[in-house]
Amino acid sequence: MDESDFNQCIGEPTEPTNIVIFGAGGDLTKRKLIPALVKMLRCGLLHPESKIIGVLKGRAFETWLETLHQGMLDYAADIEMNDEQWASFSTMFKMVDGDLQDEQTYQSLASSLESLKGKTHAMFYCAVPPRWYTTIAAGLHKVGLSNEEDGFRRVVIEKPFGMDLASSRELNNELQGLLDESQIYRIDHYLGKESVQNLLVYRFANSILEPLWNRNFIDHIQISAAESIGIGYRANYYEKSGSLRDMIQSHLMQVMTLVAMEPPVEYTADAVRDEKIKVLRAVRHFAEEDIPAQTVAAQYGSGAIGDESLSAYVAEEGVSPESVTETFSAVRFYVDNWRWQGVPFILWTGKRLPRRVSEIVIRFRKLPFNLFDKHATAPITNSLVFRLHPDEGIFLRMNAKMPGLTTNTQRLVMRAPYSEDGTDVSDAYEVLLHDVLTGDATLFSRGDEVEESWSIIEPILNVWKDRLSVERYRAGTWDVSGMDELFKDCVGGWHKPS
């Protein structure tokens, strides 16, 4: 990399660090981690004396490098990088060939780190299935690599953090037995999205929102992640997970905590996370008999998006034809505290919907009296929409007079795109990797948060696990039965993203 590549970006500079990636031969490494590290290096947020050490088995170093290079070309074509620049970048790489279960692998890693003189910090990224997390933490512990005496040692893991309350507790106990909680970085890539972080700035850096941000003005809140993709080749995972675990327990509940939390006393990881967990503690736990009325589960059937015809979920590779796993789920939560009593938080997500849109819709209460009822061309409601993707930004739906001689009202959308000047909105992985390197855990889930969210979801899982059938919706449509009913008492009803 030459000097000109180091255009400075805004962000705390990082110190030379050994970035160890377990599972470095996998998809996540080539699709996300390496492109993010290249971008960070280019803008001066990754120290050029850092090293990237891949732990993988049975591959020659050159072959591994070639895979990473190909990954850059396939998945990060926007990052212009010629062969010479790649060759210069690849001098940062090292490889340890070994099995995760073999103690020798960790010994080799320890000696490899020792041989990188002067570099004492280490980040261990577990880009492997969760069943290996404890094995890796134990391996590091055994050879002394988790010891922070001469630099930080941070271990990064990705969801799922367990599949239910018991397994998440077990994972937490195991990891916390080997590492200090402050060394564990549980990535929720949703929280790395610029627009999600921006939510905190909108809330706490503007005086006009806070007075409205409560049950006196807000009718309900919708937090959604609609996707047009199906499950691809992930049947093995998805059949066990379903969309409730995959998206609601993790990403969407995390977003809900940021929407609902009280202002923290300071902008530090623990102060923010202390407020987030208070929200989770206030979320109502449903009794079994209430669950059908508070939730929707459905599965995509065959259908089409544009000209592409799509198979039903049960016809996807690896899915049982009798599967009742939900690919769409919605839950109407209540946060039982002073600020939010009685305000529904409806979280919903689904695959094979008409488009990919994720947003937070704050729907305000009805007008006490509507002067213009007979002149409205659209329902008189106000919403504030935080678009998480695509087209990140904030939209305010207002009502205004239609131009003309009569006093007809129309809906007007005031748009504030997040990046009006075309500034590159950072990828979640750049943000989160940078946070790990600088020790900022604000956007990472703490162990207690994870357990609390599982304890909320658990009663729903218990009821759903016994179901014998599931509603179907046609792929590429919004025809999910039960959704209108779920929104029946909400001003403006279900907001289908446009």
Q: Say how far apart CA 83 and CA 66 lie, in whole Å.
A: 11
If phi over 0 gives left and psi between -120 and 50 gives alpha, with beta otherwise, what is residue 493?
A: left
Q: Say how far apart CA 448 and CA 224 lie, in whole Å.
A: 24
Q: How far is the CB of 122 from ligand BG6 (least distance, A)?
A: 26
Place of tokens 């030459």: 2
Q: Say how far apart CA 476 and CA 305 lie, in whole Å.
A: 5
Say whether 121 is catalytic. no
Q: How far is the CB of 226 from ligand BG6 (least distance, A)?
A: 10
Contact 431, 443 (CB under 8 A): yes
Residue 219 or 246: the one with the smaller Cβ distance to ligand BG6 is 246
Q: How far is the CB of 189 from ligand BG6 (least distance, A)?
A: 6
Residues of this chain that bind ligand BG6 (CB under 6 A): 189, 225, 227, 246, 358
Residue 189 or 472: the one with the smaller Cβ distance to ligand BG6 is 189
Beta strands at 308-310 and 295-305: parallel, antiparallel or unpaired: antiparallel
Extended strands (E) in 91-174: 93-97, 121-126, 153-158
Residue 195 or 382: the one with the smaller Cβ distance to ligand BG6 is 195
3-state secondary structure of 49: coil
Residue 213 or 464: the one with the smaller Cβ distance to ligand BG6 is 464
Whether omega before 459 lies within 30 degrees of 0, making that bond cis, reads no
Residue 183 or 254: the one with the smaller Cβ distance to ligand BG6 is 254
The dihedral formed by the CA atoms of 395, 248, 444 and 191, expressed in degrees to the nearest 10 = -20
Extended strands (E) in 175-311: 184-187, 218-226, 295-305, 308-310
- Of 146, 143, 207, the C-alpha closest to 179 is 146
Candidate list 121, 189, 220, 251, residue with the active-site label = 251
Residue 259 or 343: the one with the smaller Cβ distance to ligand BG6 is 259
Contact 310, 230 (CB under 8 A): yes
Q: Say how far apart CA 383 and CA 496 lie, in whole Å.
A: 13
| DSSP character string of 216-268 | TTEEEEEEEEE-S---TT-HHHHHHHHHIIIIIIIIIHHHHHHHHPPPPSSSS
How do the residues of the chain divide into helix, strand and coil, expressed in percent and rounded to 5? 40, 25, 40
Q: Which residue has its beta carbon closest to ligand BG6?
A: 246
Q: Which residue type does 270 have? A: D
Bridge partners of residue 387, in order along the sequence: 359, 393
Bridge partners of residue 357, in order along the sequence: 226
* CA 349 to chain CA mean position, Å: 13
Instruction: Specify the length of the chain in residues.
Output: 498
Residue 314 or 396: the one with the smaller Cβ distance to ligand BG6 is 314
Residue 67 or 358: the one with the smaller Cβ distance to ligand BG6 is 358
Q: Say how far apart CA 271 and CA 265 lie, in whole Å.
A: 6
Q: How far is the CB of 388 from ligand BG6 (least distance, A)?
A: 8
What DSSP state is assigned to residue 472?
E
Q: Say how far apart CA 369 and CA 383 lie, in whole Å.
A: 18
Residue 96 or 258: the one with the smaller Cβ distance to ligand BG6 is 258
Extended strands (E) in 218-292: 218-226
Give the residue numbers annotated as catalytic, written as ranges: 251
